[in-house]
Amino acid sequence: MKFNKKTLAYCVAAAAASSLVASAAQAQMSDDEIRIGYLADMSGTYRDLAGPGGLTAMEMAVEDFGGSVNGTPVEIFSADDRNSADVGANTVRQWIDSDNVDMVGGLVASSVSIAVSNLIEENDGLAIVSGSAASSITNEHCTPNHIHWVYDTYPLANGTAKAVVEQGGDSWFMLTADYAFGHALEADVTSVVEASGGEIVGGVRHPFPTNDFSSYILQAQGSGAKIVGLANAGSDTVNAITTASQFGLTQSGQQLAGLLIFLNDVHALGLEATQNLLLTTGWYWDMDEQSREWAERYFDEVGRMPTMVQAGIYSSTTHYLKAVEAAGTDDPETVRAQMAEMPIDDFFARNGRIREDGRMVHDMYLAQVKTPEESTGEWDLYEILSTIPAEEAYRPLSESQCKLVQN
């Protein structure tokens, strides 16, 4: 191309116009960065189901997006909430006040998620809850500022408890973690068991977390219930199952129903202790080629296969970044609306969408733990028995107590 004064003037003007456009786009991003906070239990009961592995999944999502959105770099902050609502809320308050964090992700213990989502609402921020189970998070505790991504107690109860009752397990004793998640799961299981023709004959609530389950398992044995429902998670579930095995609970004719079982729990306990256990999951690493491809990349980073929560953190972070890209801003209200407009169909979620209550609904799966003879490898742990369609899995909006839902 031959340059003359007219050509040079045109190029300078074009470059200036391009710079103005870029500056305008950049101005839509606060602080010239997109700032994401990762808050989770990094050292305690829920470490393995989310924890550092969830942070790795979030980092993978940002890296796969190129590390920036529309030229604006993405920065991740992270902290250990120690399963304390006060610690979690104080951390997020500092992120908002001092670090101008745009979105908070991770969020595992339901008590932490509820405290944080209230704070996020007060400050017009945005949170994506991936690890918590309490269905109340998008029911009575819903806000226009948070989204619940991976699973909750409603499909866990509708999947596992319903299947167990249909197989003859019609009398239940509930062993429940004494905080928001456990209470919600116990309530949802009770509704499903009773609606299916069974009954709850007793129960006990244990402190969170608990190392010694001896007295609780003895109470369960004394109840005479066919099924002992474990409305807990993480190391509490592992400890409860281990204690039940030591006390010969299943040998005496009773059966355990793990209502929130994660891949890492089954791996830690082994197939001898968990074989044939029914469970409901939002995702499994070996369910199809798309899932395997991502899981194997994750394995290369972490050295273990991901849980549904860790996969969900990648999925939710990616959807958030896509919404920021499409909206051209990191403004929480605008991004939240954009996320709700965009369907979700990735390696994690099938038939996914975000409802007005903030619940991301997607297909769930009824699975059974394989026997040692059926397993072909260290992480070959589940057989997917059936799909629970998205619209059937979650609490219908007609039953919602969410203030955002017009019934």
pLDDT digits (tens, 9 = 90+) for 183-200: 999 999 999 999 999 999
Superfamily of domain 154-281+365-393: Response regulator (3.40.50.2300)
Residue 407 pLDDT: 65
Burial 208-229 (b: 16+ CB within 10 A, else e): bbbeebeebbeebbebebbbbb
Which residue matches tokens 């369907």?
A: 343
Task: Report helix, strand and coil shares of the chain as percent, to nearest 5.
Answer: 45, 20, 35
CA distance 149 to 158: 18
Is pLDDT at 317 greater than 70 in this prediction?
yes
Residue 253 pLDDT: 87
Contacts of 270 (CB under 8 A, 6+ apart): none
Model pTM?
0.87
Range from 6-20, 157-171, 177-191, 310-324 carrying the lowest mean pLDDT: 6-20
pLDDT digits (tens, 9 = 90+) for 237-282: 999 999 998 999 988 889 899 899 999 999 999 999 888 888 999 9
pLDDT digits (tens, 9 = 90+) for 146-159: 999 999 999 998 89
Is pLDDT at 15 greater than 50 in this prediction?
no
**Residue 237 · residue 182 · CB < 8 Å:** no
* 270: region left, alpha or beta (phi > 0 left; psi from -120 to 50 alpha): left
- What number of other Cβ atoms are within 10 A of residue 403's Cβ? 12
Residue 188 pLDDT: 92
Alpha helix stretches (DSSP H) within 72-210: 85-94, 110-122, 153-156, 162-166, 180-195
Q: How many residues does the chain have?
A: 407
Would you give the distance in Å from CA 31 to the centre of its chain?
Answer: 29
For residue 169, what are the CA distances in angstroms to 172, 197, 324? 7, 10, 48
Query: What CATH number matches the domain at 32-151+287-362, 3.10.105.10, 3.40.50.2300, 2.60.40.420, 1.20.1250.20?
Result: 3.40.50.2300
Is pLDDT at 23 greater than 70 in this prediction?
no
Kindly state the tokens that stand for 318.
Answer: 């990616």
Q: Where, residue-wise, is CATH 3.40.50.2300 in the chain?
A: 32-151+287-362, 154-281+365-393
Query: How high is the mean pLDDT of the chain?
Result: 91
